[in-house]
Amino acid sequence: MRPTTLRCCALLVAAVALAACGKKDDAKPAEASPAMAVTTVPARLQEIPREIRVSGPVAAREEMQLGVELSGLRVTGLYVDVGDFVRRGQVLLDLDARSLQSELEQAQASYREAQAAASLAQANLRRAEPLVAQKYISAGQVDELRAARDQANARVATVRAQLDAARLRRSYAELRAPDDGIVSKRAVQPGQIVAAGTELIGLIRDGRLEWRADLADAELAAVNVGDAVMVRAPDGHDVEGEVRAVPPGVDPSTRTGTVYADLPEPDGLRTGAYLPGRILVGNAKALVVPATAIVQRDGNPYVFTVDPKGIAHRMRVRTGTTANGVVEILDGLASGAQVVDQGAGFLGDGDTVRIVPAAASTAPAATTTPVPSTTPARAASESDAAP
């Protein structure tokens, strides 16, 4: 090989080596992420409104099951439908009463006949009594007339009782509302032949509803008659109520008892709906933390504590009542423990944090994802382009 060619090859190798050294010098390592700035607050005892959250069905406070007392008669008139408001004494349905009307008329005729016979017997006795003193009739004859008068009066009483029974049976052909209320069901159609004792119409007395909640024996002990109740309606608004009755005991098999709450103004609630509610049982001291300190992960509530080295640790807790921006801690945290408040939602277990005063804290989003000034890939490309 010629000397000129050898010199050219040596220069080319030196240029490549210098370029490689320049790339290593220009590439700078990425800066480490700074610790997130957070604030902490102590878990403290505070008096909060105590409430019991539970779900239960809405039902009629008093639902009357109405039927007729006669069998084998056909419905000839039906005057109400589901949802109608009815007044006390209003006729709800009529039965075919032709045979009952005939019996009533026969009883009325028999009563008039018995009254006439009693009047005649009384008149005969009245005319005979003066004749005894004049010896025109004997005392035995007067006794017979007096007995006939008493027999006629007894016949009147018997027929009058039969007349009352016929009137009562005739009244059974009309089903009347026993009280004001709302028709909740109708299990009969015009022309149907009905049987005695069968429920034909359901009536919610006075349209009043109640909410029923099954509580464990420990919760039941905290509830008293008159406690306020808030039932969440399907459209999201709360319906106010009041505890009407608390059972004196619990079911031995389920260890629960049913609390009954009046809903004076149901405001669109319907029977059968299964709705969540809150029973307000007064105020009590409880261990609380700010609601912002609670982080939901995997469907469970957690809080973050910080050790002396600035490492965040996630702790699972059991929560209770939420009120006035604080959450009750039932288990998992001791009183006075410092928990992360601002920034808790951006933390993971084991993250490095920096505790700052609440006024000096910065937005978590601004400190969690620092951007390096120059990435290694970009530095390499710039060194390649350098002369």
Task: Give tens-digit pLDDT for 239-266.
Answer: 999 999 999 989 999 899 999 999 998 8
Spacing of C-alpha 43 from chain mean position = 33
Provide the domain count of the chain.
4
Spacing of C-alpha 8 from chain mean position = 93
Q: Is residue 364 part of a domain?
A: yes
Range of the domain at 308: 36-52+286-368
Task: Say if residue 153's pLDDT is above 70.
Answer: yes
Judge if pTM exceeds 0.85: no
In terms of domains, do 277 and 146 share one?
A: no
What are the start-end ranges of the H helices in the chain?
Answer: 3-26, 98-133, 139-171, 217-220, 364-368, 376-385
In terms of domains, do 72 and 183 share one?
A: yes
In terms of domains, do 276 and 216 share one?
A: yes
In terms of domains, do 277 and 300 share one?
A: no
Q: Is residue 8 part of a domain?
A: no
In terms of domains, do 69 and 44 share one?
A: no
Cα–Cα distance between 266 and 208 in angstroms, integer? 8
Q: Is residue 179 part of a domain?
A: yes
Residue 136: which residues within 8 A CB-CB, separation 6 or more?
none
In terms of domains, do 177 and 82 share one?
A: yes
Query: Per-residue pLDDT tens for 63-82?
Result: 999 999 999 999 999 999 99
Domain boundary at 153, 172, 191, which? 172
Q: Is residue 268 part of a domain?
A: yes
In terms of domains, do 104 and 88 share one?
A: no
Q: Is residue 40 part of a domain?
A: yes
Per-residue model confidence (pLDDT) at position 33: 57
Query: Per-residue pLDDT tens for 333-382?
Result: 888 888 999 888 888 888 888 888 876 444 444 333 343 433 333 333 33
Query: Percent of the chain scored above 70 by pLDDT?
Result: 84
Burial bucket for residue 296 (CB in 10 Å: 0-12, 13-18, 19+): exposed
Q: Is residue 250 part of a domain?
A: yes
**Where is average pLDDT lowest: 55-59, 267-271, 275-279, 381-385?**
381-385
